[in-house]
Structure 1
Amino acid sequence: MNAEKHVLNVVWDDYKREMGPALKEVNKVPYERIIADLLSVGEFYYYTLNIGDSSINNFHENILRLHGIKKYPWHLSEIISLIHPEDIPFVIEAERLAINKLREIGWAHKMNLKSSYCFRMRTGDGTYQLFHHQALTIKEDESGKMVEAINIHTNIQHITAINSYTVLISGISPRTDFYQIGLKPELMLKPSLPQSLTKRELEILKLIAQGHSSNEIADLLFLSSLTVRTHRKNILRKTEAKNGSDLVKRCIEWGLI
């Protein structure tokens, strides 16, 4: 197949030294670790993206049903065609900001840094619904150039239809990075977070969003269950959330997860 162009090439072509065709792979794909870090708040699918030619493969079967398509796409341009046209400019700028932040942090850490943001996509019933996009580099070549990424799309329309227009760069264990980059604050319909969350509270918040109970979070973070429950109460109080579901909704709208 001949290489095709797509709108993100206007961004990626500026980073050819860091992003390009695969040479000899030097790492195995940590799929179990990646799936464990999913935002578990709705139906999702994933696929792997070859950075060099934008071909895609290794699909989760949900992609067919969620988007009402009959065959698996082979190129990123087919995924982009499902995005609401009005959201394309945001997606281009979000991708540019995400890559710039990864470069600023250091490309050596790219396999432990996840970028995420939201946009609307066409679904099987013909409507556009809000999806949460997560991307993580999973393969590099001998020179350290990123050659393959996994993209995870989760339908969050049942939680909120409000896009925070925020790019989030977060660390994957052992890194604990957390960077929010707001693109269109004038379009954010929710007020600012009433009180800032601590680094530990943000860590617990991410695990709450993944569906973990307080006891499970305690085991994962080597904390007592009482400590986790105290943090959870403080998070609910600071975010003015009524319960766990309301907490996830508010934090998506604030661009915290």
Structure 2
Amino acid sequence: MKAGNEIKNLREDIQKTTGTHNSKLENYAIFNHFPLNSKQCFYVTNWRSRGIVYEKGLENLTGYKLSEFNTEDIIAYTHPEDRELVKNITTGVVSHVINIPIQNKESHLLLSFRFLKKDGTYSKILVQSSVLERDDEGKMISNFSLLTDISFIETHDRVEWEFHAKELDLIAFKKVIYKLYRDFYTKREKEIINLIAKKYTSKEIANQLCLSKLTVQTHRKNILRKAKSHSTDDVLSFCKKNGIIG
């Protein structure tokens, strides 16, 4: 599948620039007793090697065997509406932690999106990824990811993400994410969002921008639709988190 080629190319580029690196963990059997429930799986990815080097529960959760699944496949099996954003967030965070020494050992990424299982059905999954091994400079060698099926939760279909790190790491990473949303809304929609954030009503926005109230209401519906949201507060939270508004 072409959808995951960018992740595969990223992994191959990392190997070219940093060299291969055999894990210090000679035996991943230490993870054999990692507790999982029926809605979870776990895997370890070595970015300077062949990709996923260990998994537990993958087939039970997704239907895929390890021979059918690697770092790039999580993108290929992502819902088409979520795929571009998931790909960009994944490449952004991997590039960040591969090239910048992470100061905080607790740095990790949370990412939720719709995932295609082998039986042809989609599940909403939450991926929790953290750095597992670092080189002498503090740059990531490998990470572990815990996948949990959260389809039972009543939630919207929007991709959600959160990156935990020290402030300097977080600022640098957010610059990557903000670029992804640069053209998410039109110039006019951004103007309206900023006025909504200032508590302007549709009528006041219409007067401010010399538009009809009906036009403003149409823009507001499109703003909600694009964010896959049902409330103004949620849209504003989404826009602030992703750098659409300050």
Superposition TM-score, scaled by structure 2 size: 0.55
Letter matched to residue 41 of structure 2: Y
Letter matched to residue 102 of structure 2: A
Aligned length: 183
Q: Are the counterparts in 2 of residues 11 and 95 from structure 1 also a CA contact under 8 Å? A: no
Match of 2:210 in 1: none
Partner secondary structure for residue 137 of structure 1: strand
1:130 aligns with 2:129: no
Match of 2:78 in 1: 83
1:53 deviates by: 3.4
Q: Are the counterparts in 1 of residues 112 and 125 from structure 2 also a CA contact under 8 Å? A: yes
Equivalent residue in structure 2 for 1:43, among 36, 39, 42: 39
1:52 aligns with 2:48: yes
Show structure 2 runs of 5+ residues with no match.
186-225
Q: 1:65 to 1:15 in 2, by over 3 A?
A: closer
Match of 1:149 in 2: 143
The whole-number CA distance in structure 2 between the counterparts of 1:169 and 1:19 is 24
Partner secondary structure for residue 160 of structure 1: coil
Q: Are the counterparts in 2 of residues 117 and 168 from structure 1 also a CA contact under 8 Å? A: yes
Match of 1:21 in 2: 20
Q: 1:18 to 1:120 in 2, by over 3 A?
A: farther
1:190 deviates by: 4.0
Equivalent residue in structure 2 for 1:66, among 61, 65, 69: 61
1:37-64 CA distance string (max 9 Å, x none) = x9x9x82111000102342132122x21
Identity of aligned residues (%): 18
Match of 1:250 in 2: none
1:188 aligns with 2:228: yes
Partner secondary structure for residue 21 of structure 1: coil
Q: Are the counterparts in 2 of residues 19 and 147 from structure 1 also a CA contact under 8 Å? A: no
The whole-number CA distance in structure 2 between the counterparts of 1:112 and 1:58 is 21
The whole-number CA distance in structure 1 between the counterparts of 2:136 and 2:155 is 42
Q: Are the counterparts in 2 of residues 47 and 151 from structure 1 also a CA contact under 8 Å? A: yes
User: Which is bigger in relative contact order (C-alpha 8 A, separation at least 6)?
Assistant: 1
The whole-number CA distance in structure 1 between the counterparts of 2:235 and 2:74 is 36
1:117 aligns with 2:111: yes
The whole-number CA distance in structure 2 between the counterparts of 1:18 and 1:107 is 16
The whole-number CA distance in structure 2 between the counterparts of 1:111 and 1:9 is 26
Q: Are the counterparts in 2 of residues 114 and 169 from structure 1 also a CA contact under 8 Å? A: yes
Match of 2:6 in 1: 7
Please give the root-mean-square deviation of Cα atoms over the aligned residues, in Å: 4.5
Structure with the higher fraction of residues in helix conformation: 2
Q: 1:144 to 1:155 in 2, by over 3 A?
A: same
Matches within 5 A, 1:223-234: none
1:169 deviates by: 0.7
Partner secondary structure for residue 88 of structure 2: helix
Q: 1:142 to 1:169 in 2, by over 3 A?
A: same
